[in-house]
Chain A
Amino acid sequence: MKHQQYETWILLGTELDLEQHRELQVHLKQCSQCQSLYQATHQIAHLFKTSPVPEPSPGFSTRCMTRIEKVETRKSQFILGMTLSVISLATLLLLSSVGLQIRAGMAQFPQLMLEMITLVAKWIVFLNQLSHIVSPLIRVSLKLISPIWLITLGFSLSGITIAWMIPFFKSRTIQRELHS
Chain B
Amino acid sequence: MCNTEQQWIAAAKTGDKDAFAKLVEKYQRPVYSVCYRMLGTPTAAEDAAQEAFIRAYQALDQYDISRSFATWVLSIASNYSIDQLRKKKVTILSMDNEKHAWLAPPDPGPSPEKAALQREKLGQIQSLLTDLNEVDRAAIILQYWHDYSYEEIADTLDLSSSAVKSRLFRARRLMAEKWQKMQLPSTAPVNSTAKRIAHETSTI
User: Residues of A with Cβ closer than 8 Å to B?
Assistant: 7-8, 11-12, 36-37, 39-57, 60-61, 63-65, 67-69, 71, 143
Chain B residues with Cβ under 8 A from A65's Cβ?
Answer: 17, 20-21, 24
CB 8 Å contact bits of B21-59 with A (1 = contact, 0 = none) = 100110011001100110000100110011001100111
B21 touches A61 (CB 8 A): yes
Task: Give the shortest distance, in Å, between A144 (CB) and chain B (any CB).
Answer: 12
Does residue B96 face the partner (Cβ distance < 8 Å to A)?
A: no
112-146 of chain B: CB within 8 A of chain A: 118, 121-122, 124-125, 128, 144-145
Is the CB–CB distance between B201 and A43 below 8 Å? Answer: yes
| Chain B residue at minimum C-beta to C-beta distance from A51 | B121
For B37, the chain A residues whose CB sits under 8 A away are 54
Whether A61 contacts B24 by the Cβ 8 Å rule is yes
Task: Determine chain B's interface SS by DSSP, over half rule.
Answer: helix
Cβ-defined contact, B32 with A56, below 8 A? yes
| Distance in angstroms between the alpha carbons of A49 and B141 in the assembled complex | 11
Within the assembled complex, what's the spacing in Å between the Cα atoms of A49 and B125?
A: 11
Q: Give the interface size bracket for B toward A.
A: 35 or more
Given contacts A40-B179, A52-B109, contact A46 B118 (CB under 8 A): no
Distance in angstroms between the alpha carbons of A53 and B121 in the assembled complex: 11
Min CB gap B54→A, angstroms = 6
Grouping DSSP codes into helix (H, G, I), strand (E, B) and loop, the A interface class, with mixed when no group exceeds half, is helix
> When chains A and B are docked, how far (Å) is the Cα of A37 from the Cα of B17?
50
B175 adjacent to chain A (CB < 8 Å): yes
Which stretch (B2-10, B64-72, B81-89, B165-173) binds chain A? Answer: B165-173
Residues from chain A with a CB closer than 8 A to the CB of B105 are 52
Residues of the B chain whose Cβ atoms lie less than 8 Å from the Cβ of A51: 118, 121-122, 125
In the assembled complex, the Cα of A12 lies from the Cα of B194 at a distance in Å of 22
Residue of A nearest to B35 (CB): A54
Q: Is the CB of A8 within 8 A of B169?
A: yes
Would A57 and B21 count as touching, CB distance under 8 A?
no
Verify A47–B197 contact, CB threshold 8 A.
Answer: yes
| Most chain B C-beta atoms within 10 Å of own C-beta, residue among A49, A52, A60, A69 | A52
Q: Are A40 and B180 in contact (CB under 8 A)?
A: yes
Interface hits, B146-204 → A, CB 8 Å: 165, 168-169, 172-173, 175-177, 179-180, 194, 197-198, 200-201, 204
A66 nearest in chain B by CB position? B50
Known: A52-B122, A55-B33, A56-B106. 9 other contacts (CB 8 A): A11-B168, A37-B176, A47-B125, A50-B200, A52-B118, A54-B36, A60-B28, A61-B25, A68-B20
Nearest to A42 among chain B residues (CB) is: B201
Tell whether, in the assembled complex, residue B54 and residue A11 are in contact, meaning their CB atoms are under 8 Å apart.
no
Question: B106: which of A47, A55, A63, A67 is its contact (CB, 8 Å)?
Answer: A55
Pair A47/B49 contact, Cβ less than 8 Å: no
Is the CB–CB distance between B32 and A60 below 8 Å?
yes
- A50-B201 Cα distance, complex, nearest whole Å: 11
Q: Could you list 23 A-B pairs, sorted by A, with CB under 8 Å?
A: A11-B168, A12-B165, A39-B198, A39-B201, A43-B194, A46-B201, A47-B121, A48-B144, A51-B118, A55-B32, A56-B29, A56-B46, A60-B32, A60-B46, A61-B24, A61-B28, A64-B28, A64-B54, A65-B17, A65-B20, A68-B17, A68-B20, A143-B59
